[in-house]
Amino acid sequence: MLLRIYKILWWIILPWVLLFRYFKDKKSGHGFCYLFERLGLSRTTRPHDIILHAVSLGEVRAMTPLVFEIQKQLPDLSILITTTTLTGRKQIEQSFGNTVSVAFLPHDIGFFIHRFLKKVQPKILMIMETEIWPNLLDSCQKLNISTFIISACLSDRSQKGYAKIPKTIQQLLKNVNILAQTVEDQNRFLAVGARKVSVMGNLKYITVLPDDFNAKTQTLLLAKQNYLLWCVASTHEGEEKIILDEFKKIHKEFPQVKLAIAPRHPERFSSVESLIQDHGYRYQKRSDMGFDELSFEHTDVWLWNSIGELLYLYGVADIITVGGSFVPIGGHNILEPAYLHKVITVGPCIDNIQDMVTQFMEYHAIIILEQQDLYAQLTPLIKDPKMRNMMGQNAYLCIMKNQDSLSHIMDALHQCVSQEGQ
């Protein structure tokens, strides 16, 4: 009954969803460019052996090692990677070129989803983390598509929400293979009625550096010179003002400290630039110059208004603050800077990454910053290079303890492929 109501509601809200998506895409210069693809009506859709779904940029990056491993171990499998954001799509194209296909996953409307899956004819669907789309899972059951949720996580809040509709969730998850991040996640999925649940770890703990990483970071190191760089990444509305206000106090006492801000969403680049101007900072935009043209000699702030280049910035930063954590977003991936032996700090709003942060705290590898004490908490890191080095080493050790997730997925995939071949 609830599933039927869900299907009807989607048709009711579809015009508003399309209007919202048009204005969001228009800010990035795309307009109605991908309208038909978001409805599963693209003429270019063709059969593939496996669909890998990564909702946005962070999930695409986390899935990157898996894609390379599938191409290495199962080179005959044709791969379609789906996403829901423009930044996710661009990252897929940059990372894999024409070795995979890319498309937007259609909106979760039964007719469009079913038609899309019938055209693609996948044998396997792997969904990154916890994207429980009822019509997608329902169609996969009807079409006998082997379905996995990998690196799956389920918060206490989500578990309580799903517990209110137990029959519907049990029906949707009864044939889904769930590879959970932690034992706690496994127990939460079992509690809401999932049947096939095992623990694999977190795929985000595996980082693959681009081939040009060393060359580009060396160029950026020359641009950074001997200044100490505070990088604030994946910021959302409201966070940049907090950071820029605090930076004024920090820069006054420590003029050797410079700031780089990397907003999470491209459509906000111009508004963040205006905010930097309002604060009176001298700044440079990544989009205006190459790595070899950047400099802090007469600049206080770098506005990192590019896509897919955050790793290079991490590579030269001395202190990293990961955004989405000073406003109620829930936090973003802290593992890439950890892989690069960097000092990691976050704000207090970390619901999405609480398990990760807990592990890092056990290793003394992260600091949770409070807005009112941000200046005081950063000061010891600025003054003490030994402290920065120790925290960076501890962060790296933490992620090295979590490197088995990829093998768990590949074992499950090999087993599934052999069963399909029988």
Task: Give first-to-last CA distance, the chain, whole Å.
Answer: 37
Q: How far apart are CA 388 and CA 69, in angstroms?
A: 33
Strand partners, 101: 80
For residues 350 and 322, the answer to whether their CB atoms sit within 8 Å is no
Q: Which amino acid, 234?
A: S
User: H/E element holding 72?
Assistant: helix 57-73
Residues 387, 390, 396, CA angle at the centre, nearest 5°?
A: 140
* Alpha helices, DSSP H, located in 131-176: 134-142, 156-163, 166-173
Q: Which long-range contacts (CB under 8 A, 24 or more apart) does 378-381 make?
A: 378/230, 378/246, 378/250, 378/319, 378/345, 379/250, 379/253, 381/319, 381/343, 381/345
Catalytic residue among 37, 59, 240, 273: 59
Determine whether 297 is an active site residue.
no
Q: What is the CA 30 to chain-centroid distance, rounded?
A: 22
Outline where DSSP puts E strands in 1-65.
50-53
Q: What is the DSSP code string of 9-21?
A: HHHHHHHHHHHHH
Q: What is the DSSP code string of 227-291?
A: -EEEEEEEE-TTHHHHHHHHHHHHHHH-TTEEEEEEESSGGGHHHHHHHHHHTT--EEEGGGS-G
Q: How far apart are CA 126 and CA 295, in angstroms?
A: 43
Q: How far apart are CA 17 and CA 7, in angstroms?
A: 14
Q: Which residues are catalytic?
A: 59
